[in-house]
Structure 1
Amino acid sequence: MERKKFCEIMVVIFIMTAVGFLGNTVTAESKDINISWESEGKFRVVEFPRAGWISPTGHNDPADAWHDEPYAYDNNTGTKAGCTILEFGWWWTPWIELTLNSPTDISKIRFFAWYDYYHCNEVDVDLYYGGGWHNLYQGSYPDRQWMEYAINMHDVTAARLSFHVQRWLLYPVTADLHEFQFYRVGYGPLDP
């Protein structure tokens, strides 16, 4: 348990004891913990997730085609993961999969990516839940602005993205994914 969280728990326990809640069941909420004083003289501490935007915890690159993958989820829109296409014409990039440590209740996603009508003009976004991949969106998006897509709440474990890119003349084209986030449905106070 983090030191800050431990200190918050101890403050709540002290306050509960000082105001005379001994022998009663009382709940005190502090950010993302729930503390109950059980009548048997025991505390019960339950952690619950906070609602808000969260970053993936890892990635998969099945085709080994992307570079700098961790930059797609480092909470910095100034960095980017990329996939360079060398073939002429329009192509879909290989998938980049962005993962979570465990199934998480998700109600929407957002991403921040480079867009150019002539060179990188569509994205395909799928989510993994219920034992399989499900298409969320395929189409255009704004250039280097947050784009959100809502879904019915699901226990999501991963998202994958592919970009539609075109090499023209002698210049290879790189699809740039600056940032990706999931919106976790929480049971505690909302993050700002």
Structure 2
Amino acid sequence: MSESKDAAGQQPGSRFELLCGVTIAILAALLAINELGSGKFGGDEIAARNEATKAYSWYGSKSLKENLAEGQRDLLLALRAAGAIAPEKVSAVQGTLDRLDGEMDRYSREKQEILVGSDVVGKNNWAQAVDGQLGNVRGAKEWDAESDRLDRAGDIFDTATLFLQLCLVLGAISLIMKVPARRNAFFTAMLILGAAGIGFSARAFYLAFNL
């Protein structure tokens, strides 16, 4: 009879330990998923920043070429205005001026496409080929926007990690508590922090996937 009473007396504690243990295991699994997402999208953020840097360098090289063409054109215009070009060379100079104007216009359109991307400038303004095909340029500003978005997601992932780690600590403390009131208080606090961590993690994944 006493054994059955002891067993009956242990049942509430056993049920709590089972419930708390399962909850901790679930939260630990969610923490692991959150950490995987944080690491994966953190790498994507670094890659996006590198791509943005390369795009801005590409943009700078086009600007340099445009400036060189503009300088040559301005020099020829100044020479023509000063009458320093022989009459028989005027037509050839005009052809060179037309070519330089065309190059400047092309460089300007290429710069714009490199800066904002092919999708933004539209098919009619595609000028820069990538791997022999037009319309495949992803702009520097697009890479900037992606890296900024992933950076914000990374901050939220970190917040989610903090809450999930804290809730696991509280759950472990609740398991060793003997006083039911204190044990339940720590368990409740674990659930609250766990819910907050899950919410932050879901928000981070939502932002990282750009949903």
TM-score surpassing 0.5? no
More strand by share: 1
TM-score (ref. length: structure 1): 0.27
More helix by share: 2
> Which structure has the higher relative contact order (CA within 8 Å, separation 6+)?
1
TM-score (ref. length: structure 2): 0.26
Structure with higher Rg: it is: 2
